[in-house]
Amino acid sequence: MREGKKGSNATARVVGSAIAGVSELLVFHPIDTVAKRLMMNEKNLIVAGDMGLSMTNMNAAIFRDAKDSGVVRKWQSLFPGLGFGAGYKILQRVYKFGGQPYVKEFIANKFGDSFQKTFGEKTGKTMMSATAGSLMGIGEIVLLPLDALKIKAQTNPDSLKGRGVVQIFQEEGFGLYRGAGWTAARNAPGSFSLFGGAAMAKQIMGIEDGRATWVQDGIAAICGATASITVAAPLDVIKTRIQSGTSNKGGVTLIYELVRDEGPTAFFRGLWPKLLVVGPKLIFSFTIAQQMIGYLEERMAPKP
């Protein structure tokens, strides 16, 4: 993301983003599983005036078959789909964090004057960063099969039992791209908000390109991640339910039934867990990617 920095190169961007993806996976995969399972739950978990029943419902929704097991078994139950998660997460972070700077540079070279005339010099840079992020978010559907398999393993593991990776891809085929349109619709505003929110935060802090500290990058990441998760939440619920494979219903039907049976607030089911525990995952990896890419660019820059 450090546009204009001398010595920028593909190696720094790929390696820096990959480090962010691996770090995020090791720390946050169990939290991601909890959020996905809560989004898939269609029942009201919290019972007013009955804390015991509420806790029982939460325990069953989160730990599934391990709900009556010990702490170790419950913890292990939060790691389904780790292989798919590893492939998806690392590729996703390399693609998005490593690729977004190239798209922004392309936009700046081809349409930079138009953005600056329309939005002003500083805001124009923010809008270019957000637009580049949005385009990368749409293109991210290429990785959808890995994401779909990860979500199935987390929310509907029985659908994958007894099948190897090759067999799954052969049998599922283009079915693994189920929900691609909804994923793109969710990623476009979500990634726009992520990169745009972070860029705006840096603009407000008066940070020039490539001069952010760990703390400043962290603050920018908090702003971007919060905006991204909130904006994408409604479509994320629909995307997750489509990809889980528990229903053959289309997105429009799911939206209608969700509003009818669960109410509009169901669009934001799982939002607080994502903001409180999944949000830090995005903040964590975004900050690491920013810092590692900048560090590697400096180390790999040609010596004068």
Summarised one tens digit per residue, pLDDT across range 187-196 is 999 999 999 9
pLDDT category at 86 given cuts 50, 70, 90 is confident
- The pLDDT of residue 246 is above 80: no
> Where residue 258 sits, what CATH number does that domain have?
1.50.40.10
Within-domain flag for 15: yes
- 249 and 257 Cβ atoms separated by less than 8 Å: yes
pLDDT averaged over the chain? Answer: 84
Residue 64 within a domain: no
Contact 83, 154 (CB under 8 A): no
| Tokens representing residue 266 in the block | 């169901």
Hey, which of 33-37, 50-54, 109-113 has the most confident mean pLDDT? Answer: 109-113
- Whether 287 is covered by a domain: the verdict is yes
Average pLDDT, stretch 160-173?
Answer: 75
User: Count of H helices and E strands in the chain?
Assistant: 12, 0
Q: Is residue 285 part of a domain?
A: yes
The candidate with the shortest Cα–Cα distance to 226, out of 288, 304, 292, 279, is: 279
Higher pLDDT, 82 or 199: 199
Report yes or no on 237 lying in a domain: yes
| pTM for this predicted structure | 0.73
* Nearest to 267, CA basis, from 277, 259, 279: 259
Has residue 110 been placed in a domain?
Answer: yes
Structural domain count of the chain: 1
Residue 49 inside a domain? The answer is no
* 50 in any annotated domain: no
Q: According to the model, what pLDDT value does residue 3 have?
A: 45
Cβ–Cβ < 8 Å for 169, 145 = yes
256 vs 134, which has greater pLDDT?
Answer: 134
**What range defines the domain where residue 26 resides?**
10-44+80-300
Residue 297 pLDDT greater than 80, yes or no: yes
What average pLDDT does range 125-150 have in this prediction? Answer: 90
- Mean of pLDDT values over 213-220: 94
Residue 120 has a CB neighbour count (10 Å cut-off) of 12
Percent of the chain with pLDDT over 70: 91
225 vs 233: which has the higher pLDDT: 225
Query: Which pLDDT score is estimated for 303?
Result: 67
pLDDT surpasses 80 at 110: yes
pLDDT range class, residue 108, cuts 50, 70, 90 = very high
| Helix (H), strand (E), coil (C) string for 147-189 | HHHHHHHHHCHHHHCCCCHHHHHHHHHHHHHCCHHHHHHHHHH
